[in-house]
Structure 1
Amino acid sequence: MKKNILLYLSALYFFIFSGYSFSQISENNSLILGTFKITKVIDGDTFKFENLDGSSRLLGIDTEETFKTDDAAAKTDEISAKWDEYYRLEKGENKMPVKTNSPLGYEAMIWAKEFLKDVENARLELEDENRAMDIFGRHLVYMFVQKDGKEINYNVECVRLGYSPYFNKYGNSKKYHQDFIAAQEYARNNKLGIWDPDKKHYPDYEERINWWNKRAEQLENFEKKYSDNENYFNLSDESDFKRLSENVGNEIIVFGNISDVLTKKFPYLLRIPRTKEDTFELVIFEDNANLLNEMEIDNKKEYYTYIKGTLGVYKGKYQIELKDKDQIWIE
């Protein structure tokens, strides 16, 4: 009996003074999606798994796009022969870097298939219960596989070998930020993949990374300053989005990324997507049509914005009417 009491007290002492808690353990376990058989490599950062609906998009990486048809190799050779011109035409008049099929994207897909050819199962982890899927309905995960008796974080390995930059456009990794930073530094120093000047890849990674870093800083700033303020709502956070129903008719401040600007008819609609079908809408009626230029929406679209106004609902969609340019800003 005394022995059992001593064991209990020892265990209790460990949990109290080591900083662990039963709730933390439960929370960590809840972020493990499970172990699944890999059924398809779509490209370097997107996969399908048995008994898991839809596809899964890996967190922290963004391999270049690639052709996925049977003649992908031939198409890749074709654009490779005129890569600089091809990318210039694909970018067109876009102010920001664009995504398009590339020779390095094809190489990343081939590497992924080769790297995983002897791997049957992968362990998938979520980053956060409030951001488990993207707007396309894909699972957002870290993928761990066994290679030569060791467990490897595929996401980090992809960056370490230069097949992807550290992709923090939607926020820094909460779990593996330092691992990604170290992996990217290794790839840079060794001129691997996208950091190899002789390979044919997107030419504007410095611009991309500066852009993504600024967005990641915006998200961290929101978390530090406003996450405990009940009047602020991060629209990419599932729990914040659910709280909107309790605030219809109230003046609130929402935080999100404007994706689509619809101006073919009035009212103008500025959409912040939650899923492909479900969006938060900013509404501009004809009397305030000039607001679109005054607010410089084209510049704000690439970053997270704050919008202040009275929350309404129309045809099942949450919305805020914009009447003044000071209702929307960037921090």
Structure 2
Amino acid sequence: MNLKSFYIISRIYFLSFLFLFTSVPVAISQTDSNLIIGEFKVTKVVDGDTFRFDKLDGSARLQFLDTEETFKDDNAAQKTDELRKNWDKYYKTLRDTSKYPVKADSPFGYDSWQWAKEFMKDVDYVRLEKDDLVREKDIFNRWLAYMIVIKNGKEINYNIEVVRQGISPYFNKYGNSKRFHNEFVAAQNYAKENKLGIWSDTVQKYPDYDERLTWWDFRAKQLEDFDSEHKENKYYFNISEINEYKRLENYLGQEVIIFGSIGELLQNRFPYLMTIPVTKENRFEIVIFEEHAGILNEINLQDILENYVYVMGKLEKRKDRYQIILRDKNQIWMDKD
């Protein structure tokens, strides 16, 4: 590790421990027992927001965190030091002309991983909790969880602490926290005001966090708007919720409006498919036959692919997959307010 790398990591450690000894950790209120997944032993710190747990039924993703990516092999430190030499140019080339920020292995991603290992080295067991009872797992069947740890005899919500230390932004790309939204906002403001981690001018991290926050806040508002305007309409379906996806069975052959986030556009052959992932095994398909392929030139495809969209049409099912055939550009739209 070179001197610059050592300085950056040491600075992160110092700020973290300074916080632990000079301020009051986020208070953990009494938790509804239905929201508790259980207590588990941490077996591995994979990176800043990914952990493995002994005897957990499946894996877990820590909610509302998005630490930067990092090399994880035996040569991770060496690769990171090489990346530090030309980081700004590397990221600029990687993003190229993309309207939206991209993810990449970064120097700060590695630093975040080291911070997490140091933070957790005296923690044996943690408590995992859910945000709500509506969406307990993600599309890869991973538990969506908060990780509650005990440091210096006090309970700390690791998710909020990571944001407070500037190790991660408040990641609300898939909606705001139901339980701790205000705490996450306050934690992020604290990190910004004190120029910690990603908000510092001295670390090599993604240079476009302002854009990321604007984008994620927009998506979070899309979800809030759907709930406030359409949640009670039985012909509208937010299929990011598994129970809503299951409800489709009763509406085959009827006109419905699907709300979701497109995962990929498949254009290798006709018909083209835009897919909305629901679970690892299930996806919703928006079908575009060759005679309607021109629709893709009439819509703002990049925005459509990066945000939540509405799709209207007759609900059909083919090979156990629900689908709507797109024949007109007005069948698909995105709220822009």
TM over 0.5: yes
Find the counterpart in structure 2 of residue 15 from structure 1: none
2:155 corresponding residue in structure 1: 151
Q: What is aligned with 1:137?
A: 141
| Equivalent position of 2:197 in the other structure | 193
Instruction: Return the alpha-carbon distance in structure 2 between the equivalents of residues 132 and 89 of structure 1.
Output: 37
Whether the 8 Å contact between 1:102 and 1:202 is mirrored in structure 2 is: yes
The CA distance in 2 between the partners of 1:105 and 1:56, in whole Å, is 19
What does 1:1-331 correspond to in 2, within 5 Å?
28-331=32-335
Residue aligned with 1:200, SS = coil
**SS state at 1:173 partner:** coil
Q: Give a deviation string over 1:25-52, Cα, whole Å, max 9, x none.
A: 9x93222111111111111111111111
Shift, 1:89, TM fit: 2.1
Q: What's 2:6 paired with?
A: none
Shift of 1:250: 1.0
- Residue 268 of structure 2: SS of its match in structure 1? coil
1:110-129 per-residue CA deviation (whole Å, 9 max, x = no partner) reads 11111111111111111122
Question: How far apart, CA to CA, are the structure 2 residues paired with 1:294 and 1:272?
Answer: 20
Amino acid at match of 1:158: V
Q: Is the 8 A contact 1:307 1:329 kept in 2?
A: yes
- Measure how far apart 1:136 and its partner are: 2.3
Shift of 1:295: 2.3
2:20 matched residue in structure 1: none
Distance 2:234 2:295 in 1: 28
Cα distance in 2, alignment partners of residues 148 and 38 from structure 1:
18
Separation in 2, partners of 1:216, 1:100: 23
Contact 2:64–2:172 (CA<8 Å) still a contact in 1?
yes
Question: In the alignment, residue 272 of structure 1 is paired with which amino acid?
Answer: I
Deviation string, structure 1 residues 253-311 (Cα, Å, up to 9, x no partner): 11001121111211110011113442100001111111111122222111100111111
Answer yes or no: is the 8 Å Cα contact 1:300–1:330 preserved in 2: yes
Identify which range, 236-245 or 287-296, moves more after superposition: 287-296
1:16 is matched with none
SS of the equivalent of 2:134 reads coil
| 1:173-224 deviation per Cα after TM superposition (whole angstroms, max 9, x unaligned) | 0000010000000000100000001110000000000000000000000111
Q: TM-score, normalised by structure 2?
A: 0.88
Checking the alignment, whether the CA contact within 8 Å between 1:38 and 1:120 is kept in structure 2 is yes
Write the letter of the residue equivalent to 1:55.
S
Q: Distance in 2 between matches of 1:64 and 1:308?
A: 36
Residues 123-149 of structure 1 deviation map (CA, whole Å, 9 limit, x = unaligned): 111112221222222211001001111
> Secondary structure of 1:241's partner?
helix
SS of aligned partner of 1:129 = coil
The 2-side partners of 1:143 and 1:48 are apart by: 12
SS in structure 1 at match of 2:201: coil
Question: 2:19 — aligned with what?
Answer: none
Percent identity of the aligned residues? 54
Structure 1: runs of 5 or more not aligned: 1-24
Is the CA contact 2:242–2:278 (under 8 Å) kept in the aligned structure 1?
no
In the alignment, the residues of structure 2 paired with residue 291 and residue 139 of structure 1 have an alpha-carbon distance, to the nearest angstrom, of 37
> How many corresponding residue pairs?
306
Structure 1 residue 53, shift from structure 2 partner:
3.8
Larger Rg: 1
Q: What amino acid is the match of 1:97?
A: P
Structure 2, gaps ≥5 residues long: 1-29
Q: In the alignment, which residue of structure 1 is the partner of 2:5?
A: none
Q: Which range moved further: 27-36 or 241-250?
A: 27-36
